[in-house]
Structure 1
Amino acid sequence: MLEQAGLRRDGAMVLALMAQPRFLGFWFNPVSFWLVLRGPDLLAVIAEVNNTFGQRHSYLCHHDGFTPIRPEDRLSTEKLFHVSPFQDVAGGYEFRFTVTDDKIAVLIRQTNGEEGLVATLHATLRPLRQPGLLAAALRRPGGALRIVALIYWHALRLRLKGAAYRRLPAPPSKEISR
């Protein structure tokens, strides 16, 4: 995907993944971030979005010429993928990324006219080792199962409040958009 967008691979590039690990064999990530780094510079991010209907779509975030993405940069794209049956597939996303030697932070702002929401994620970067995985599992009990349970709990609460339910549309024809 990155090569098709014009990013040439070289030995100095590192690909990092920010995602929820499997828990007791169960996996679900509402959004995973594939980060392309060259030294301290963030060149591109693939935001891989999954919905609870088993569909997936990715958004490629980068500047023209793959110049470094700075914390103050706002990368925008049109919303093309059905994430929630309580929201239209309309509006857009604005992404902001901050990457340091030991931390990463992501801000996603979804807007549709006057409506929208803001989601933030942050993590401390660590090597993937068994003790770290165990500590993460203890910090976030239930992992992916917990995330799915919270999504369905929130959906039930919205439905009971009378929120309109939208049928599942076909996914975008392209696997990735910019």
Structure 2
Amino acid sequence: MPGPWGAALYECRITHVRTAPIRNAFGHRTYLWLVDLDRLPPVPRPLRWLASFPSGERGLPPREEIGRYLAGEGIDLDGGRVLMLAHARSLGHAFNPLTVYWCHDRAGRPVCTVAEVRNTYGGRHRYLLHPDGRGRAEAAKEFYVSPYFPVDGRYRMVLPEPGERLALTVRLEREGGRPFTATLRGTRHPATTGRLLRAATRHPFSTWAVSAHIRLQGIALRLRGLPGHPRPGHPRPGHTCPGHTAQTKVPAP
């Protein structure tokens, strides 16, 4: 991991392309952190309003939370490193539609990748993946993300561990085609005080913008007459957090 903080910042462009039943595409720029969960960045106190890594939903440190999840799946990293790609909490807010964890054993060998997906209703689901050497993996869609797609089909993901470049792709495949593709492309910079201030200046309210883009696109699709699909009433135990059944937020696209 580069930089005196042992972490990296990626200035990124995120794109979403929907091809069916109507076509819609949008993109926006932001920045993401790549951090070692055993060595979270020592952000100076005066800057923690721009970047912090709070405990998870059960009050556990992020490393302990993902460790308990892996243990429940029968995986023991034996103290190996876990890298997390995500937004930090900034200006009191963080929303990560996709958080990726690259998990290694004590010798540094890759063991698995976890793709954690969140929706705008407060739900969460983790996909445990075993990618090939190019970061490619598949998983059946098991989580309600958008009211404009039912919970069916498969994801084809390309999630290689980031280096100088960040290049992730998630495609939804349903019978008859690939109606949705999301891409994330970015360039690595060492995480420092100066780089954090530059990123926050170039992308102010970045974490708020993520939520706003999703909700505005959802409203636009609704206004275009795209029919919705009701949410399943009972998510799989242990895979979503409390609040999954709340229905007070605008849906994601």
| TM-score, normalising length: structure 1 | 0.81
Aligned positions of 1:156-175 closer than 5 A: 156-170=219-233, 172-175=235-238
What is the CA deviation profile of residues 83-134 of structure 1, one whole-angstrom value per residue up to 9, with x for unaligned ones? 0111111101111122354334221111111242111123445554433332
Does residue 86 in structure 1 map to residue 148 in structure 2? yes
Does residue 117 in structure 1 map to residue 180 in structure 2? yes
Secondary structure of the corresponding residue to residue 92 of structure 2: coil
Please provide the CA RMSD for this pair: 2.5
User: Structure 2: any 5+ residue segments left out of the alignment?
Assistant: 1-68, 240-253
Match of 1:51 among 94, 119, 123: 119
Match of 1:130 in 2: 193
For residue 15 of structure 1, what is the amino acid of its counterpart? V
| TM-score, normalising length: structure 2 | 0.59
Does residue 75 in structure 1 map to residue 142 in structure 2? no
Kept in 1, the 8 Å contact 2:103–2:111? The answer is: yes
- 1:171/1:18 CA distance change after superposition, 3 Å: farther
- 1:132/1:105 CA distance change after superposition, 3 Å: same
Q: Residues of 1 paired with 2:180 and 2:235: CA distance?
A: 22
Q: Residues of 1 paired with 2:194 and 2:114: CA distance?
A: 28
- 1:40/1:136 CA distance change after superposition, 3 Å: farther
Match of 1:66 in 2: none
For residue 33 of structure 1, what is the amino acid of its counterpart? V
Secondary structure of the corresponding residue to residue 137 of structure 1: helix
Structure 1 stretch displaced more, 41-50 or 19-28: 41-50
User: Structure 1: any 5+ residue segments left out of the alignment?
Assistant: 64-68
Shift of 1:5: 3.2
Shift of 1:14: 1.4
Kept in 2, the 8 Å contact 1:51–1:83? The answer is: yes
Match of 1:102 in 2: 164
For residue 104 of structure 2, what is the amino acid of its counterpart? L
What is the CA deviation profile of residues 143-173 of structure 1, one whole-angstrom value per residue up to 9, with x for unaligned ones? 1211111111111111111001222323531
What is the CA deviation profile of residues 47-102 of structure 1, one whole-angstrom value per residue up to 9, with x for unaligned ones? 11110001111101116xxxxx411x531111011101111111011111223543
- Percent pairwise identity: 31
Q: Residues of 2 paired with 1:99 and 1:40: CA distance?
A: 13
- 1:100/1:18 CA distance change after superposition, 3 Å: closer
